[in-house]
Amino acid sequence: MREKPYLAYSDVLKAKFGHRVYKVTLDAGFTCPNRDATKGVGGCTFCDETGSSSRAQNKKDTITAQIQKNVEIMRRRFKAEKFVAYFQSYTNTYSKIERLKRLYDEAMAAHPDIIGMSISTRPDCVNEEKLDLIAQYNHPGGYLCVEYGMQTIHDHTLELINRCETHADFVHAFNLTRERNIPMCVHVILGLPGETHADMMATAMRLSEMLPEGVKIHLLCAMKHTPLEQQYLRGEWEPLAQEAYVQLVCDFIEHLDPSIAIHRITGNGHRDGLVAPRWLLKKQEVLMQVEQEFLKRGTRQGATLEATTLSTSKGI
């Protein structure tokens, strides 16, 4: 099989654990400071009522019930053996420390094949106390990851999408997390309103300096009942075309340091809720086109950085 032109996270996990590891998505009933008026109301313009989740869970079920039900489904469907509890919906550190500990403990004890946790959150919703708690779940041979929704390094874009936080918030959270040796995955969105190609490449290059352990690349898409859907219907925002996204994602990956594992390169639009672009549902096709584009270019992850270093060292 041909080697992937980028460091795929699934391969990293397979090498570490000896088999594929599957994520069990959870809805722990959190909300978000960008929805409850603590920081803002209405949420980020692209976020729907599920809090950017995969909709796989029912938050009325306990964490234990969600895990046990889905572990069995994934066992049958994929012959999966090991699982990560993925606190995905809304802001999964946005609560009192006692409740966070209770939920995280419950997840870790819910099933013998849970090997660790992934906790998705906003950078402005962690502090030293919460990260100290999370660091306690970091064991050799286990799995731990904090996923930060950074989206972009540009504050003017964060304002346009009503993020109600700044890049400085992300840098602060990143540093606190790194000090505690907690692995991180940073979410970015391509095609954000007002962003130029250079803006997006600047985000990739900044990540290459900061070196998070992983990156998830999303395409901005309009979901039902979101402000972005309204902007799309009024003709104020247009999604990227499939071919343009393929080019862009290859450019972005070429600007990413090769040590950063790529968790995902296509968005996560849900069939029923996705308004535009509908081509986002052709996930396998997009993945294949990205590989073909790299093959055509003869490049891979970090190629632009290597070329820049080479030309700088040659004084070009």
CB 177 within 8 A of CB 146: yes
Residue 32 beta carbon to ligand SF4: minimum distance, rounded to whole angstroms: 3
What part of residues 253-282 is at the interface with ligand SF4 (CB under 6 A)? none
**Interaction of residue 52 with ligand SF4, rule CB under 6 A:** yes
Residue 172 beta carbon to ligand SF4: minimum distance, rounded to whole angstroms: 16
Question: What is the rounded distance in angstroms from the CA atom of residue 26 to the CA atom of residue 61?
Answer: 10
Question: What is the rounded distance in angstroms from the CA atom of residue 256 to the CA atom of residue 244?
Answer: 19
Interface mask toward ligand SF4 for 56-95; x: CB under 6 A: ----------------------------------xx----
The phi and psi torsions of 225 (rounded to 5 degrees) equal 60, 40
Interface with ligand SF4 (CB under 6 A), residue from 47, 71, 150, 186: 47
Cβ proximity to ligand SF4, 92 vs 208, nearer residue: 92
What part of residues 224-243 is at the interface with ligand SF4 (CB under 6 A)? none
Cβ proximity to ligand SF4, 38 vs 68, nearer residue: 38
Structure tokens at 248: 């862009």
CB 217 within 8 A of CB 250: no
Q: Are strands 82-87 and 114-121 parallel, antiparallel or unpaired?
A: parallel
**Interaction of residue 220 with ligand SF4, rule CB under 6 A:** no
Find the part of the chain contacting ligand SF4 (CB under 6 A) among 44-52, 166-174, 211-219, 221-229: 44-52
**Interaction of residue 35 with ligand SF4, rule CB under 6 A:** yes
Structure tokens at 13: 């996990």
Cβ proximity to ligand SF4, 35 vs 300, nearer residue: 35
Question: What is the rounded distance in angstroms from the CA atom of residue 312 to the CA atom of residue 316?
Answer: 6
CB 219 within 8 A of CB 267: yes
Residue 283 beta carbon to ligand SF4: minimum distance, rounded to whole angstroms: 21
Cis peptide before 277 (omega within 30 of 0): yes
Cβ proximity to ligand SF4, 6 vs 30, nearer residue: 30
| Helices 128-135 & 97-109 angle (0-180, nearest 10) | 20
**Interaction of residue 34 with ligand SF4, rule CB under 6 A:** yes
**Interaction of residue 214 with ligand SF4, rule CB under 6 A:** no
CA distances from 82 to 50, 113, 141, 210 (A): 26, 5, 12, 30
**Interaction of residue 55 with ligand SF4, rule CB under 6 A:** no
**Nearest residue to 188 via CA among 179, 178, 201:** 201
**Interaction of residue 122 with ligand SF4, rule CB under 6 A:** yes
Amino acid at 140: P
Find the part of the chain contacting ligand SF4 (CB under 6 A) among 40-48, 104-112, 187-195, 300-308: 40-48
Interface with ligand SF4 (CB under 6 A), residue from 5, 116, 123, 149: 149
Cβ proximity to ligand SF4, 38 vs 138, nearer residue: 38
Q: Are strands 222-223 and 274-276 parallel, antiparallel or unpaired?
A: antiparallel
**Interaction of residue 44 with ligand SF4, rule CB under 6 A:** yes
- DSSP string spanning 63-112? HHHHHHHHHHHHHHHH---EEEEEE-SS-TT-S-HHHHHHHHHHHHHS-T
Cβ proximity to ligand SF4, 8 vs 171, nearer residue: 171
Residue 165 beta carbon to ligand SF4: minimum distance, rounded to whole angstroms: 8
Residues near ligand SF4, by CB under 6 A: 32, 34-35, 43-44, 47, 51-52, 90-91, 122, 149
